[in-house]
Amino acid sequence: MNRKKSTKSDNSDIILPTDRIGLLDYLWAVQNAHGYIRSEDISACAKALKISQIDVEGVVSFYHFFHRKPAGEFTIYLNKSPVCECKGFERVKEAFEAATGGKFNGVDPSGEWGLFETACIGLSDMEPAALIEFYPFTNLNSLKVRDIVAKLKQGANPADICDPVPDHIRSVPDSDKAILLRDYNPGIALEALKDHTPESVLEAIKKSGLRGMGGAFFPTGFKWEACRKDPESPKYIFCNADEGEPGTFKDRVLMNSLPGLMLEGMAIAGYAVGSETGTIYLRAEYTWMKDKIQHTIDHFRKMNLLGKDICGIEGFNFNIRLQLGAGAYVCGEETAMLNSLEGKRGEPRNKRFFPTERGYLQKPTVINNVETFCAAARIIQLGVDHYLQTGTPTSPGTKLLSVSGDCRLPGIYEIEWGTTVREILEKCEADRPHFIQVSGPSGECISMVEADRAIAMDDLVSEGSIMIFSRSRDILSILRNYNHFFKHESCGLCTPCRAGNFILEKKLDLFAAKLAHPSDVEEVRSWGEIMKLTCRCGLGKTAPNALLMAQEKFPEYFASIVDQNPERLSKGFSLKDAVREYDRFSS
């Protein structure tokens, strides 16, 4: 077998971090060099940072993509998103095991193949999909898997045989109403700053009504203004490019097709709040885009679109660095992301202060996602009045939707706020839609009875994902996938989330075994409400959403899987009767 090493190589020139901010980069460097993080790497890092080895181990163990044991010459991560499960996950999983001789969630006996399941990798429009050495392989089937493994055995490099990732932009608004997906020339928004002061930028963003597009929908202008008004300095700008909500891939498309627009939005935020430093926190699943984004950053510096006196505006200084995450959905929560960036475990902070008050390194910090920064750049480029001509009075502008599942045209749809679900289903040519998940597992599920609801701030709010499941799909299987995701992505810091997801899993097991009765339905509701009220961060608070809503919106389905005769499943138990025979023979 003509095998060569993949992307792993021995590297004795790795520089130890001088502070915790460099910890993630160091851990990636040693893992890329050796295939895993060795004990001597932990020891050397702890000594350099003057912290305990346990502290470093705590960071390493927090992230899915860091390995403390060899993870194979070729490390394969197969997506187990709800869409992938419907599109042939099990067949592809079996094909990888057959072709490599290994079993999933481990390394084969030869040490060549590491097979691991992972949560959504942002390729829901091309399922089944996998990452091999963090390069994308899409639209997988058994034959394609055999071919890929055969090529790797013959010495191919994953980088040379991976699949191109198309943007699949399916629809944009008519006329001149497209905001995000329109022609772009680098610097077009930054040049418009010559006609703006920082104060006028803040007023424009506030007047536009732009809200954060990552799911929280906090007014962007007010966030930026709060950061500017804080007397502390320096101030920081962070782009949350860690879109981990299953079924979401809109930020992937923006970074792949319009990375410069994201950079301009960050720089505009820096201009508005008085920050000179920006960081993009890129999810590890998008490692294959890292070089492209870094190249764009470097190109912007050469064009004077980053650096000192940007676009000739005296005193407008702003630079951007790229930070790679390591696989933790909870780091999409802004305070968890800040902890990760500071080289700590990516656990959410207690919300005593907003990031605009005490964020990165306890300094005023603005955090927005990719789509929000892109929209802000367009508002400054096109003018706030142009922006307000789209959407609805209460929901101005447009929204990017990642549409996937049972439809003929999965991909990206830029819609005006106010577009109905039915219109979207028609555009994507949905196949017998039945169970529709809006905003990912943490969002809202609806039935076709609600298809005329509008995607809008005052109706059906979407962070950017719509997963469509036809009547042929089993609702319980979808919900169990969601629960598995939340259970494994929970940081485990707070009891309601740590225990609640486990308890809901056991209830779902009862439903699957047809051993549940009405009291179990009530207990699911009770535990769900406890989680929503008492969990520490958004992950735990939204984890039970889909299950609770599915019970409400698909009552006939749940009636069919719940035994309505509690007597049959709740036989009275008597300890005396249970041990009677034992006592009789032992006496």
* 234 and 148 share one domain: no
**pTM of the complete model beyond 0.75:** yes
Peptide bond before 166: cis, by omega within 30 degrees of 0? no
Q: Are residues 306 and 232 in the same domain?
A: yes
530 found inside a domain: yes
- Distance from chain centroid for Cα 198: 31
pLDDT for position 303: 98
Asked whether residue 531 falls in the same domain as residue 413, the answer is: no
- Give one DSSP letter per residue of 491-532, joined into a string: ---SHHHHHHHHHHHHHHHHHHTT---HHHHHHHHHHHHHHH
Residue 6 confidence (pLDDT): 46
Within 535-587, where are the H helices? Answer: 538-542, 545-553, 555-561, 566-569, 575-578, 580-586
CATH of the domain at 194: 3.40.50.11540
Can you give the three-state secondary structure of 522-542, one letter per residue? HHHHHHHHHHHHHCCCHHHHH
Which of 514, 520, 517, 513 has its CA nearest to residue 547?
520
Q: What was the pLDDT predicted at 572?
A: 60
* Same domain flag for 58 and 157: yes
How does 526-535 read in b/e, with b if 16+ C-beta sit within 10 Å? ebbeebbeeb
Q: Do 437 and 487 share a structural domain?
A: no
71 and 37 together in one domain: yes
272, 419: one domain = no
pLDDT tens for residues 381-427?
A: 999 999 999 999 999 999 999 999 999 999 999 999 999 999 999 99
**Each residue's pLDDT tens digit, 457-470:** 999 999 999 999 99
- What pLDDT shows up at residue 580? 76
Positions of the chain with pLDDT under 50:
1-7
Residues 321 and 279 sit within 8 Å (Cβ to Cβ): yes
Statement to judge: residues 104 and 29 lie in one domain = yes
Q: For residue range 181-204, what is the model confidence (pLDDT) as tens digits?
A: 999 999 999 999 999 999 999 999
* Predicted local distance difference test score (pLDDT) of residue 497: 94
CA distance 50 to 54: 12
Identify whether the C-beta of residue 275 lies closer than 8 Å to the C-beta of residue 236: yes
Domain count for the chain, please give it.
4
Least Cα distance to 138 among 64, 81, 63 occurs for: 81
513 lies in which domain range? 475-567
Residue 119, in any domain of the structure:
yes
Residues 460 and 375 in one domain: no
CATH number of the CATH domain containing 2: 3.40.30.10
